Amino acid sequence: MRGTLAALTALTVVGLTACGDDTKTAGPQATTAGATSAATATGTVTVFAAASLTESFTKIGKDFQAANPGAKVTFNFAGSSALATQINNGAPADVFASAAPANMKTVTDAGGGEGTATTFVKNQLVIAVPKGNPKAIKGLADLTKPGVKVALCAEQVPCGAAAKKALDAAAVKLTPVTLEQDVKGALSKVKLGEVDAALVYRTDAKAAAADVEGVEFPESAGAINDYPIIVLKKAPNPAGAKAFVAYVLSDKGRTVLGTAGFQAP
């Protein structure tokens, strides 16, 4: 009898703990709550994230799984506009991390978000050039020199919208040889030697430092992108989704993002 009562008491404590975690709201205040939420995470957590988050979120996903042996994180990395369309068309996902508020708004305006999106990092553009900078590109104006081939992201993609804003601020008009659907596509053109330069995020240039260099330019300061994250309303694993978002916002998650070159919100 005494053993039965002890078991029931333990179950009650576990039940109350789990319920408490399910009601946590994603946001900056969740920094210290990440460990508590993550401790109860189980099952598959499907995260739709901007392509520029590939390296940092892959690392965070592995860390999250290590802290939660019962959980598995799967990612869909792509351009934020494409991800928003997929979510609004019913693609099953637990979390959406966008590279710009506009694409997040597309999802929340359609009623796809649970609560309010939280900006968790910022990102800034650089000009990615091959190692050694053979075309001696020092700023946006150099991208218009004869013979310089440039890759940009399409305007509906956050990196493309930021690039247009920076180019307009510098009064620079250029015709890219290709418009890519995400920042990784634009960066790959430089890495493969198909173009002489591309406007990409600082974090992407840093991740590809073995192949490219990032040239800073002043106009990028006026085209910084905010990155919002949210638990999705139709999340198949809402508890796991809340736990993952809390982990991203935790000190451990922010450390990974900061190391990758993202700026604090």
Mean pLDDT of each 10-residue bin along the chain, 265 residues long: 38 33 34 42 97 98 97 98 98 98 97 97 98 97 97 96 97 97 97 98 96 97 97 98 98 98 96
Question: Any idea where the domains of the chain sit in the sequence?
Answer: 2-121+226-259, 125-222
Query: pTM of this prediction?
Result: 0.83
Residue 247 and residue 126 in contact, taking contact as beta carbons nearer than 8 Å? no
Task: Quote the CA–CA distance of 171 and 229 in Å, as a whole number.
Answer: 33
2-121+226-259 matches 125-222 in fold: yes
- Look at residue 40 in the predicted model and tell me its pLDDT: 73
CATH code, residues 2-121+226-259: 3.40.190.10
Element of type H or E holding 239: helix 238-249
The alpha-helical segments, DSSP class H, found in 24-174 are 34-38, 54-67, 80-88, 101-109, 158-169
Please return the burial class of 67, using the count of CB atoms within 10 Å of its CB with bins 0-12, 13-18 and 19+. Answer: middle
pLDDT at 141: 97
Find tokens 């996903």 and name the residue.
61
CATH number for the domain whose boundaries are 125-222: 3.40.190.10
